Amino acid sequence: MKAFAIGTELCAQIAAEAHTAYPRECCGLIEGVREGEAVRATTLHPTSNIAEAQDRFEIDPREQFRLMREGRDVVGCYHSHPNGRAAPSARDAEYAFAGDFIWLIAGATDSLAAYVWDGARFMSVAMTRDGRSRAP
């Protein structure tokens, strides 16, 4: 995967969720469209953070399975690092899996960055903000 596009309103939604969840991490799933080597986010699905620790996130797998049963194309997940950078943490790497799955991370200063896991490490993905995405 070479590129990820997300609408400015979806970026604002993630920032609002991160502020609301503070000091915990917010998290959710990204529905989107695959366009060759690129992915475009179309909808965000906020999820409960079921992690016990305040500085971690864990999406309830039932929420992802429900979306997939509904025929939605879950192309990635997002979460915040309330006191950190918009970069994968060592904990993120522990739970990552290979594939064309976007990891969108919101930093403490409302910055956003996209990554994919290549089986050994996170690789940065070029991210653009477009106007074609929509909020739920």
Q: Count structural domains, the chain.
A: 1
pLDDT tens sequence across 34-74: 999 999 999 999 999 999 998 899 999 999 999 999 999 99
Identify whether 136 is part of a domain.
no
Structure confidence at residue 131 (pLDDT):
59
What does the chain come to in residues?
A: 136
Residue 52 dihedral angles phi and psi, to the nearest 5°: -75, -40
Which CATH number does the domain housing residue 110 bear? 3.40.140.10
Mean pLDDT taken over the chain: 92
Whether residue 135 lies inside any domain: the answer is no
Query: Using 50, 70 and 90 to split pLDDT, how confident is the model at 121?
Result: very high
Q: What pLDDT is attached to residue 99?
A: 78
pLDDT at 132: 56
Cis status, amide bond into 136, omega within 30 of 0: no
The answer to the question of residue 84 being in a domain is: yes
Structure tokens at 37: 């080597």
**7, part of any domain:** yes
Cα–Cα distance for residue pair 54/23, rounded to 1 Å: 7
pLDDT tens readout for residues 91-107: 999 999 877 899 999 99
Share in percent of the chain as helix, strand, coil (round to 5): 20, 40, 40
Direct distance between the N- and C-terminal alpha carbons of the chain, in angstroms, rounded to an integer: 25
Compute the radius of gyration of the chain from its Cα atoms. 14
The whole-number pLDDT of residue 135 equals: 41
- Within 10 angstroms of residue 51's Cβ, the number of other Cβ atoms is 16
In a domain, 16, yes or no: yes
Q: 13 lies in a domain?
A: yes
| Angle at CA of residue 16, ends 57 and 128, nearest 5° | 85
Is residue 25 in a domain? yes
Q: Print the domain residue range for 50.
A: 3-130
Residue 136 has what pLDDT? 39
pTM strictly above 0.85: yes
